[in-house]
Amino acid sequence: MQNMLDIRPLSGAIGAEIAGIDLGGPLDDMIVAAIRRAWLDHLVIFFRDQDLPPDRLMAVARRFGKPVEYPFVAGIDGFPEVTPVVKLEHERVNFGGIWHTDTAYLETPPMGTFLIAREVPEAGGDTLFANMYLAYESLSDGMKRLLDPLVGVNSSGKADASKTREDRMKDEPGAGARRDYVAEHPVVRTHPETGRKALYVNLGHTQRFKGMTEEESAPLLGFLFTHQTRPEFTCRFRWTPGALALWDNRCAQHNPINDYHGRRRVMHRVTLEGDRPR
């Protein structure tokens, strides 16, 4: 079925561009199934030059899952599930600018995320992605035995990751979020569609292991945070206006690079409902 698509891998580990498709036009079930298969195979897929205003973006997202609201930032007018991801010229801290998987502090983190570029700087503002299947599979057998039974405690209040969220919560009281979310998830999760195991801790949200203190957890977590973003597990995507990414939140991490101070970057994001990690 994938021979219906023009798929161009970005690296040996993760990521592929799919060319020649207008997502705003009619998409029959076979094309949607082929795109989904490519997404499962490559973990993050990209499309260029897409004309997707919010209504069309939502229509595309609904072909792949159920859009849900983001807990900390209010959606744009008329589209509560479309989250603005913005850094303006005077701002120094970007949104989510740290390696992470989206909202791991929720009981049911999202399955996947759509992100489309509206305005981007001429240079800078790329996003890195990392393959958590490879991060787990490349570990020693002894480390896998140690990690397999562990549970991670994930919090939205982890300081380094929450600075921009906290600032935005103050600026946007209508978002209606609690001050802090905490959820416990397996350190190694099994993907519900592929059956593969993926490392499921992240620098942005994972505070400690269940049953251990933060101090006791820190050495092993520090190793994992460094290990899971090794260059050979990653790809890098350069945004252009109308570029769209769809990543699998269950087995991939991402990191938006904050290297464009004094320039504007405006994106729209839609997250898709997931299930409880197992």
Catalytic residues, by residue number, are: 100, 102, 254, 269
Neighbours of 4 (CB within 10 A): 14
CA-based end-to-end distance of the chain: 29
User: What sign does the CA torsion over 18, 22, 23, 27 have?
Assistant: negative
Q: Is 176 exposed, middle or buried (0-12, 13-18, 19+ CB in 10 A)?
A: exposed
- C-beta of residue 170 within 8 angstroms of C-beta of residue 197: no
Phi, psi for 99 (deg, rounded to 5): -60, 130
* H helix or E strand, kind and range, residue 220: helix 214-227
Task: Give Cα 117 distance to the centre of its chain.
Answer: 15
Cα separation, 139 vs 156, in Å, equals 27
User: Taking a C-beta distance cutoff of 8 angstroms, is the pair 76, 70 a contact?
Assistant: no
Which residue bears the tokens 């801290």?
93
Cα separation, 73 vs 250, in Å, equals: 22
Cα(273)–Cα(142) distance, integer angstroms: 34
